Amino acid sequence: MKTKPDLRLSTLINLSFGFFGVQIAYALQSANISRIFATLGADPHNLSYFWILPPLMGMVVQPLVGYFSDKTWTRMGRRIPYLLFGATVAVLVMCMLPNSGSFGLTVAAAMTFGLISLMFLDTSINMAMQPFKMMVGDMVNEKQKTQAFSIQSFLCNAGSLVGYLLPIMFTYIGIKNIAPTGEVPDSVKWAFYVGAAILIACVVYTVAKVKEYTPAQMAEFREAAKEEDKKVSAESTDKSALNHALKVFFQVGLVQFFCWAAFMYMWTYTNGTIAQTVWNATDTASKGYQDAGDWVGVLFAVQAVGSMVWALALPLFKNNKVAYSLSLVIGAIGFIMVPYCTNQYMLFVPYFLIGAAWAAMLAMPFTLVTNAFEGNPRMGTYLGLFNCTICLPQIVAAALGGITLKALGSVQGNMLILAGVFLVVGAACVFFISEKRKALKKA
């Protein structure tokens, strides 16, 4: 029986290289949605509503791409057609979204155009993102998967850094960072244009270098795995084991709710907060507001660096729950500090601390859940459903953002303090997770 071979390091890199470009697009979207729609004329109380689309599309599109690509076989492969189509659409929309205010439309029409563009961008980014995870699952053996996902994580963070910094880089070289009222500055437009070019180049490179396994090869690999499946079947069908795993699923999901709601408010209200506290700017067409928009990218880049540094520390903890909870508390301190930092460079400290929470959120939930479902033949299905614990809290937080902002005195900085409170609650909920299963009685 044929098993999946060990792959060369270059092949593992090629499998995920396009993810670098996809993450640039995602970072540009994350750092600039609020800036773009505020510039178009959106009221701060309505900004969070524009953030409903990204998690909503992720919750819908990623499972569908997985379902249909499982059944797709072409000369290009089973995952690559979806990757290439998603990336192509993303490139086109990235050229349209920052131009929403440049077509002479009314404010309402410009925001509608931007909203439709954002919907297509979210859909296409999710369509391009999911195949990379599935190709690693398809092509990499168990021994090399940790290495393969580590490479993907590194490329993810590297792409985020580039995407976050592109607008301020273009401002630095002299491209205009201000524009007429209702229009997005050229520095942001060029960031999206260049990001789109890098995205398609990286994806084309992966398409050219990666050859997916054929249906016959995949069938051979499945046959080779049958004996291993038989070894774990007794444990995976044990009712007590499944009940415990589902209990962990929902307990971790509760922590996820508070964590992802907190970060939704960071993405939504950082721009408005630092524009007011550091640049004393409320006019979205002013130079101060747009400078704050550039600085958001720098701060999110600092967060990404903090995340990479803290990720190295997480394996040193002997207790997963202590590592998880402490990371969230550190992030909470960062969030609460933000509105009190009146110097743009002082903001490096809180966003570096926020990176600790982000590192834990990317690693610990899946560690706890996969440990709980170890040996279950439907682990992939459960992990797909677990994605809802990421998307749903963002949707709820975005839907309630305007009401919450008004209740907190319409001060955007208060939303970041609330985000810190959410992380503290999440940190407390970590200790309710039943990480270790009690010994099961034998029948």
Is the per-residue pLDDT at 230 higher than 60? no
Task: Express each pLDDT in 142-152 by its tens digit.
Answer: 677 767 767 87
- Asked if the 237-435 domain carries CATH number 1.20.200.10, the reply is no
Top-confidence residue, 383 or 281: 281
Task: Express each pLDDT in 343-377 by its tens digit.
Answer: 999 999 999 999 999 988 877 886 677 667 655 55
Is the per-residue pLDDT at 177 higher than 60? yes
The reported pLDDT for the residue numbered 236 is 46
The reported pLDDT for the residue numbered 440 is 41
- The 3-class secondary structure across the chain, one letter per residue, is CCCCCCCCHHHHHHHHHHHHHHHHHHHHHHHHHHHHHHHHCCCHHHHHHHHCHHHHHHHHHHHHHHHHHHCCCECCECCHHHHHHHHHHHHHHHHHHHHCCCCCCCHHHHHHHHHHHHHHHHHHHHHHHHHHHHHHHHHCCHHHHHHHHHHHHHHHHHHHHHHHHHHHHHHHCCCCCCCCCCCCCHHHHHHHHHHHHHHHHHHHHHHHHCCCCCHHHHHHHHHHHHHHHHHHHHHHCCHHHHHHHHHHHHHHHHHHHHHHHHHHHHHHHHHHHHHHHCCCCCCCCCHHHHHHHHHHHHHHHHHHHHHHHHHHHHHHCCCHHHHHHHHHHHHHHHHHHHHHCCCCCCCHHHHHHHHHHHHHHHHHHHHHHHHHCCCCCCHHHHHHHHCHHHHHHHHHHHHHHHHHHHHCCCCHHHHHHHHHHHHHHHHHHHHHCCCCCCCCCCC
The whole-number average pLDDT for the span 169-190 is 92
Topology alike, domains 1-234 and 237-435: yes
Is the per-residue pLDDT at 226 higher than 80? no
The reported pLDDT for the residue numbered 235 is 47
- Asked if the 1-234 domain carries CATH number 1.20.1250.20, the reply is yes
| Residue extents of the structural domains in the chain | 1-234, 237-435
Q: Give this prediction's pTM.
A: 0.76
